Amino acid sequence: MSLGFLTLIVFLPALAAVALTVLSGRISVQTAKVMGLGASLLALMLSATLPAGFLPGAGFQFVEEASWIPSLGISYKVGLDGISLLMVLLTTVLVPLALLTAWGGSTRNERGLTIAMLFLETAMLGVFVSLDLFLFYMFWEASLIPMFFIIGVWGGAGCTRAAMKFFLFTMAGSVLMLAAIISLALVNRQGTGVLTFDYTLLSATRGAFAVKWLFWAFFAAFAVKIPVLPFHTWLPDAHTEAPTAGSIILAGVLLKLGGYGMIRFCAGLFPTVALEYRLPLVLLGIAGIIYGAMMVLVQKDLKRLVAFSSVSHMGYVVAGLGSFTVAGMGGGVMQMVSHGLATGALFAAVGILYERVHTRELSGYGGISRVMPHFSWLFLVVVLASMGLPGTSGFISEFMVLLGLWKLQPLLAALAVPGVVLGAVYMLMMFRAVMQGPVPKGLERLAPLEGREVFVLAVLAGGVIIIGVWPGPWIDLIQGDILRIIGGVGGPG
Amino acid sequence: MMPGFMESLPAILPELVLALGAILLLALGVSRQMEARFCVRFVLIASVVALGAMAYSAGPIEGSFAGIMAFDGLASAGRLLVLASLIAALLLSHPWLESAGMQNAEYVSLLLLSGAGLMGVCASANWIALLVFLEISSISLAAIMGMRRGVPASREAAIKFFILSAFASAFIVFGAAVLFSRVRGFSMMAPEYPDSAVVTGTLFILAGLSFKCSLVPFHAWAPDTYEGGPTPVVAFIASASKVAGFTAMARFLLSGGAGSFIGGGAVLWVLAAMSMLGGTILALTQTNLKRLMAYSGISQSGYLLLAFLGAAESRTESVVTYLVVYTAMTLGMLAVISALEDEGKAPEVSSLPGLGARHPLLAAALGVFLFSLTGLPPTAGFFAKFQVFREALSTGYLYLVLVAVVSSVISAGIYIRLLVPAVMEGEGVGWREFSLAPGVAAITLLASIILVIGGLFPSLLVSLSRLFLAQ
> Given this model, what pLDDT does residue B303 score?
95
Per-residue pLDDT, averaged over B38-53, amounts to 81
A50 inside domain: no
B327/A245 Cα distance (integer angstroms): 38
Residues whose CB is less than 8 angstroms from the CB of residue A368 and which lie 6 or more positions away in sequence, other chains included: A353, A375, A376, A434, A435, A439, A443, A446
> Given this model, what pLDDT does residue A493 score?
42
Asked if A175 reaches chain B (Cβ–Cβ under 8 Å), the answer is: yes
Q: What is the pLDDT of residues A256-297, one digit of tens each?
A: 999 999 999 998 888 888 888 989 999 999 999 999 999 999
B131 inside domain: no
Is the Cβ–Cβ distance between B277 and B403 less than 8 Å? yes
Question: CA of A425: how far to CAs of A349, A364, B10, in Å?
Answer: 19, 20, 84
Asked if A68 reaches chain B (Cβ–Cβ under 8 Å), the answer is: yes
State the smallest CA–CA distance between residue B61 and chain A in angstroms.
Answer: 28
Q: Helices A410-435 & A393-408, crossing angle to 10 degrees?
A: 160
> Given this model, what pLDDT does residue B89 score?
92
Mark which residues 358-397 of B lie under 8 Å from A by CB. 371, 374-378, 382, 385-386, 389-390, 393-394
Is the Cβ–Cβ distance between B227 and B291 less than 8 Å? yes
Is the Cβ–Cβ distance between A423 and A309 less than 8 Å? yes
B149 inside domain: no
Question: CA of A463: how far to CAs of A90, A336, A344, A431, B404, in Å?
Answer: 10, 13, 11, 21, 45
ipTM: 0.86
- The residue ranking higher by pLDDT, B273 or A359, is B273
B432 inside domain: yes
A234 inside domain: no
The mean pLDDT of chain B is 86
Interface test with B, best of A182, A189, A194, A214 (most B CBs within 10 A): A182
- B418 to chain A: closest CA residue: A164
What total number of domains does chain B contain?
1
Residue A27 burial class via C-beta count within 10 angstroms: exposed 0-12, middle 13-18, buried 19 and up: middle
Give the residue numbers spanning the domain of B392: 263-471
Name the residue facing B462 among A71, A141, A145 (closest C-beta). Answer: A71
B71/B126 Cα distance (integer angstroms): 12
Asked if A167 reaches chain B (Cβ–Cβ under 8 Å), the answer is: yes
| Confidence check: pLDDT of B132 > 90 | yes
Asked if A15 reaches chain B (Cβ–Cβ under 8 Å), the answer is: no
* pTM of the model as a whole: 0.91
> Given this model, what pLDDT does residue B142 score?
92
Strands A61-69 vs A74-80: parallel, antiparallel or unpaired: antiparallel
Q: What is the pLDDT of residues B177-226, one digit of tens each?
A: 988 888 788 888 766 667 788 888 888 999 999 999 999 889 888 998 99
Asked if A210 reaches chain B (Cβ–Cβ under 8 Å), the answer is: no
Task: Compute φ and ψ for A96, nearest 5 degrees.
Answer: -60, -35
What total number of domains does chain A contain?
1
Q: Which residues of A touch B425 (CB under 8 A)?
A: 160
Q: Specify the 3-state DSSP secondary structure of A9.
A: helix
B267 inside domain: yes
- A73 to chain B: closest CA residue: B459
Q: Binning pLDDT at 50, 70 and 90, where does residue B61 land? A: low
* Total beta-carbon pairs less than 8 A apart between chain A and chain B: 81
CB contact under 8 A, A168 and B382: no
Asked if A214 reaches chain B (Cβ–Cβ under 8 Å), the answer is: no
Q: Which residues of A touch B361 (CB under 8 A)?
A: none
B124/B126 Cα distance (integer angstroms): 6
Q: Which residues, listed in sequence order, are joined to residue B342 by a DSSP beta bridge?
A: B345
A352 inside domain: yes
A401/A423 Cα distance (integer angstroms): 15
| Confidence check: pLDDT of B74 > 60 | yes
The DSSP result for B25-77, as a single string, is HHHHHHHSPPPHHHHHHHHHHHHHHHHHHHHHT-S--TTGGGGTB--SHHHHH
Per-residue pLDDT, averaged over B60-76, amounts to 77
Q: Which residues of A touch B459 (CB under 8 A)?
A: 68-71
Per-residue pLDDT, averaged over B410-430, amounts to 82
Mark which residues 409-448 of B lie under 8 Å from A by CB. 409, 412-413, 416-417, 420, 423-425
A457/B327 Cα distance (integer angstroms): 51
CB contact under 8 A, A179 and B389: yes
Task: Compute φ and ψ for A74, nearest 5 degrees.
Answer: -110, 130
Q: In chain A, which stretches have pLDDT less than 50?
A: 1, 491-493
Please, what sign has the CA dihedral across residues A249, A254, A256, A260? positive
A347 inside domain: yes
Give the residue numbers spanning the domain of A297: 277-493
Residues whose CB is less than 8 angstroms from the CB of residue B97 and which lie 6 or more positions away in sequence, other chains included: B36, B39, B40, B104, B107, B108
B289 inside domain: yes
> Given this model, what pLDDT does residue A208 score?
61
Q: Which residues of A touch B401 (CB under 8 A)?
A: 179
> Given this model, what pLDDT does residue A207 score?
58
CB contact under 8 A, A186 and B394: yes
Q: Specify the 3-state DSSP secondary structure of B158.
A: helix
The span from the first CA to the last CA of chain B, in angstroms, equals: 19
CB contact under 8 A, A167 and B412: yes
Question: CA of A192: how far to CAs of A187, A205, A267, B312, in Å?
Answer: 9, 9, 21, 20
- Cis peptide leading into residue A230 (ω within 30°): yes
A355 inside domain: yes
Interface test with A, best of B303, B320, B374, B409 (most A CBs within 10 A): B409
> Given this model, what pLDDT does residue B300 score?
95
Question: CA of B320: how far to CAs of B73, B208, B304, B329, in Å?
Answer: 10, 21, 10, 14
B196 inside domain: no
H or E segment and range at residue A63: strand A61-69
Is the Cβ–Cβ distance between B43 and B112 less than 8 Å? yes
> Given this model, what pLDDT does residue A491 score?
46
The number of beta carbons lying within 10 Å of the beta carbon of residue B65 is 23
B305 inside domain: yes
Q: Which residues, listed in sequence order, are joined to residue A361 by a DSSP beta bridge?
A: A301
Q: Which residues of B touch A241 (CB under 8 A)?
A: none
State the smallest CA–CA distance between residue B459 and chain A in angstroms.
Answer: 5
Q: Specify the 3-state DSSP secondary structure of A43.
A: helix
DSSP A67: E
Torsion-angle region of residue A229: left (phi > 0), alpha (psi -120 to 50) or beta? beta
| Confidence check: pLDDT of B382 > 60 | yes
Name the residue facing B390 among A163, A168, A182 (closest C-beta). Answer: A182
Per-residue pLDDT, averaged over B135-153, amounts to 87
CB contact under 8 A, A164 and B424: no
> Given this model, what pLDDT does residue A492 score?
44
Q: What is the pLDDT of residues B431-467, one digit of tens each?
A: 777 888 888 999 999 999 999 999 999 999 988 888 8
Is the Cβ–Cβ distance between A72 and B390 less than 8 Å? yes
The number of beta carbons lying within 10 Å of the beta carbon of residue A60 is 16
A185 inside domain: no
Question: CA of B23: how far to CAs of A261, B117, B123, B147, in Å?
Answer: 62, 14, 22, 18
> Given this model, what pLDDT does residue A159 score?
83
> Given this model, what pLDDT does residue A89 score?
94
Name the residue facing B420 among A69, A152, A182 (closest C-beta). Answer: A152
The span from the first CA to the last CA of chain A, in angstroms, equals: 36
Is the Cβ–Cβ distance between A346 and A327 less than 8 Å? no
The number of beta carbons lying within 10 Å of the beta carbon of residue A193 is 7
